[in-house]
Amino acid sequence: MGPRPVYRPHVDTHTARAFRRPSGQHGSFASRPAGGATAVPQGDSQIQNRPPDAVLAEAFGRPAGSSELLQRDPEAAAEQAAPPAPADPWRDPNSAARLGTPAVGQSQPRPLTPGPKLGAREVLFGGRVSWRALGVLAVVAAVIGLLGGFVGAFTGSSASALTSRKVTLQSAPSGGAAHNQVTKVVNAVMPAVVTVRAWLGDTGSTGSGVVIDGQGYIVTNNHVISLAANDKSGKAKLDVVFSDGQKAPVQIVGRDIKSDLAVLKVDVKNLSVIQLGNSNDVQVGDDVLAIGSPLGLEKTVTSGIVSALHRPVKVGGEGTDTDATLDAVQTDAAINHGNSGGALVDMQGRLIGINSAIKSESGGSVGLGFAIPVDQVKRISQALIHDGSVHHPRLGVSAKTKIVANDVMSGAQVADVQAGSPAAKAGIVEGDVIVKVGDRDVSGPEELTVAVQSHEIGQTVPVHLIRDGREVDVQVTLESD
């Protein structure tokens, strides 16, 4: 194997001119013997140990990055490990500097002579305080300790004068005074209000319910039990907890997503049943109580008044199939999550509504609570108990709010009319603005929904609308949904 090609860098003209042989000089600078013969050194041939020429080292040296050893057993089957590094750091050019024992001998230190033992006076004061001074200090410390003991004893005796074991606190006699009306209503109604719990695995919801019949029928909101009602796996659980702590499983009799009501049935005897009131007897300003389990806090009672009647409220949202518009009773009694399905009662203990919704930007009660009127609760619940389902009258339009009549009056503008619907049969077309259904004024889509649902299926209702700036009256015969 021949030598590798030698790398020779390019030499520029200026460098060659500066380092070239002088003019007239050829060959080496060594003197030559007479006759032109080459000088040959005489005497002993001395082998000189010097680094190889750079050209030879580059041509025959180990390639860059190679770790192959030149000294190896030619008969060995594999490469042998590299020889260990020399033990002597002086022979290792790559060894690090280190400290060692000096070559000269060192003398051993002389053993220390034990000194005299020091007493407390030498240790604390360096021997500069006399025994007499130490005695005086001890006496002063004893006097200070005695004075401190006398002060502590005096302080303790002064504090003990503030306490006494002879004092006995007693309650004033009741005097036979009767509790107020709120207490009487709560005692009468509370056994008829239950906590409704629905869960599926780690997901659950808690609401309230009201016993409306002694055979075990309980009314609540559909959105309280929709988790269990929509379960197809059969793993959902549903039960109720009574005011005395008794728990019982329940079954769903029927539910209505358009009114957000549901009826459950429990197999428990001797139930306390709530008294049902009449929606026509409810007036704005009447005192009311909201009873339920807000945020899981069972048997919670809050009080307020009826703030408004016939308030259209849209109910629905994520996690429930409820899509209802309520003709609600508005109250400022505190209602929170978990009050849903609970009782709104008057001061005679009669049910006037089922608490169902709140309006709040924070999610908590701000005094804007809404309940389903008791007349609607009776109608829907009885239909569910009889048939397991309920039907509603429909008009067959979708609408949006529209300002009409010189920006003074608003109504529900028809955005779409279903083919073959009662609205289509009556001649209502897209763009009409409905401002009144029967005797009820309509100011928006929610108002239109509750106005239609306040009538019966098959009833013919006058509908007042505005078409192209003209007032038009049409007769619509409502059909079942």
In tens, the pLDDT along 262-309 reads 999 999 999 999 999 999 999 999 999 999 999 989 999 999 999 999
| 359 and 332 housed in the same domain | yes
Q: Is residue 273 part of a domain?
A: yes
Burial class of residue 398 in the structure, from the number of CB atoms within 10 Å of its CB (0-12 exposed, 13-18 middle, 19+ buried): middle
Three-state SS for 55?
Answer: helix
Burial class of residue 427 in the structure, from the number of CB atoms within 10 Å of its CB (0-12 exposed, 13-18 middle, 19+ buried): middle
Active site residue 346: no
Structural domain range at position 294: 181-390
CB 289 within 8 A of CB 345: yes
Task: Compute the distance between CA of residue 256 and CA of residue 222 in angstroms, rounded to an integer.
Answer: 7
Task: Compute the distance between CA of residue 326 and CA of residue 330 in angstroms, rounded to an integer.
Answer: 11
| 370 and 290 housed in the same domain | yes
Q: What is the structure's pLDDT at 33?
A: 59
User: Which uninterrupted H or E stretch holds 120?
Assistant: helix 120-125
Backbone angles phi, psi at 71, to 5 degrees: -95, 105
Give mean pLDDT, residues 162-169: 82
Report the CATH number at residue 343.
2.40.10.120
Across the chain, what does the average pLDDT equal? Answer: 84
Please give the structure tokens belonging to residue 151.
């002060």
Task: Compute the distance between CA of residue 467 and CA of residue 434 in angstroms, rounded to an integer.
Answer: 9
Least confident of 22-26, 45-49, 449-453, 471-475: 45-49
Task: Compute the distance between CA of residue 22 and CA of residue 215 in angstroms, rounded to an integer.
Answer: 132
- DSSP string for 455-469: S-TT-EEEEEEEETT
CB atoms within 10 A of CB 204: 13
Catalytic residue (one of 208, 223, 332, 381): 223
| 224 and 372 housed in the same domain | yes
| 292 and 336 housed in the same domain | yes
CB 458 within 8 A of CB 479: yes
Report the CATH number at residue 444.
2.30.42.10
| 353 and 365 housed in the same domain | yes
pLDDT at 178 over 70: no
More confident of the two residues 99 and 21: 21
Q: Is residue 405 part of a domain?
A: yes
Among 390, 421, 445, the domain-final residue is: 390
pLDDT at 42 over 60: no
Give mean pLDDT, residues 110-130: 71
> With pLDDT > 70 as the criterion, what percentage of the chain qualifies?
81
CA quadruple 450, 253, 298, 190: dihedral, nearest 10: 80
Among 390, 414, 432, the domain-final residue is: 390
pLDDT at 189 over 80: yes
User: Which uninterrupted H or E stretch holds 345?
Assistant: strand 343-346
Q: Is residue 343 part of a domain?
A: yes
Least confident of 27-31, 61-65, 132-136, 341-345: 27-31
Band of residue 407 on the pLDDT scale cut at 50, 70, 90: low
Give mean pLDDT, residues 64-91: 62
Task: Compute the distance between CA of residue 443 and CA of residue 409 in angstroms, rounded to an integer.
Answer: 8
| 269 and 410 housed in the same domain | no
Q: Is residue 346 part of a domain?
A: yes
Please give the structure tokens belonging to residue 355.
């608490």
Residue (of 259, 189, 262) closest to 220 by Cα position: 262
Catalytic residue (one of 340, 365, 381, 410): 340
Tally of structural domains, the chain: 2
More confident of the two residues 474 and 129: 474
Give mean pLDDT, residues 228-254: 92
pLDDT tens profile 136-148 = 888 888 999 888 8
Q: What is the structure's pLDDT at 247?
A: 94
> With pLDDT > 90 as the criterion, what percentage of the chain qualifies?
46
Three-state SS for 228?
Answer: helix
Task: Compute the distance between CA of residue 300 and CA of residue 270 in angstroms, rounded to an integer.
Answer: 23
Q: What is the structure's pLDDT at 80?
A: 56
Active site residue 260: yes
Residue (of 375, 309, 294) closest to 340 by Cα position: 294
Q: What is the structure's pLDDT at 240?
A: 95
Q: What is the structure's pLDDT at 201?
A: 84
| 380 and 236 housed in the same domain | yes
| 350 and 207 housed in the same domain | yes
pLDDT at 198 over 60: yes
Q: What is the structure's pLDDT at 268?
A: 92
Please count the CA atoms within 13 angstroms of the CA of 474 that sit on its side-chain side. Answer: 21
| Token pair 């009050």: residue | 339
- DSSP string for 408-444: TEEEEEEEEE-TTSHHHHHT--TT-EEEEETTEE--S
| 284 and 404 housed in the same domain | no
Q: Is residue 303 part of a domain?
A: yes
Instruction: Give residue 378's region: left, alpha or beta (phi > 0; psi -120 to 50).
Output: alpha
Q: What is the structure's pLDDT at 132?
A: 75
β-sheet bridge partners, residue 221? 261
More confident of the two residues 363 and 72: 363
Give mean pLDDT, residues 162-188: 83
Task: Compute the distance between CA of residue 382 and CA of residue 260 in angstroms, rounded to an integer.
Answer: 14
Q: Mean pLDDT: which of 38-42, 192-196, 469-473 is highest? A: 192-196
Three-state SS for 56?
Answer: helix
| 370 and 409 housed in the same domain | no
| 244 and 333 housed in the same domain | yes
pLDDT at 477 over 90: yes
CA quadruple 375, 376, 380, 382: dihedral, nearest 10: 0
More confident of the two residues 308 and 153: 308
Q: Is residue 223 part of a domain?
A: yes
pLDDT at 214 over 70: yes
Q: What angle do CA 43, 48, 54 make, to 5 degrees?
A: 135
β-sheet bridge partners, residue 249? 239
| 349 and 407 housed in the same domain | no
Q: Is residue 120 part of a domain?
A: no
Q: What is the structure's pLDDT at 291?
A: 96
Q: What is the structure's pLDDT at 221?
A: 95
Q: Kindly give the pairing relationship between strand 275-276 and strand 350-358.
A: parallel
Q: Is residue 17 part of a domain?
A: no
Catalytic residue (one of 256, 260, 327, 432): 260
Q: What is the structure's pLDDT at 318?
A: 73
Among 337, 371, 390, the domain-final residue is: 390
Band of residue 58 on the pLDDT scale cut at 50, 70, 90: confident
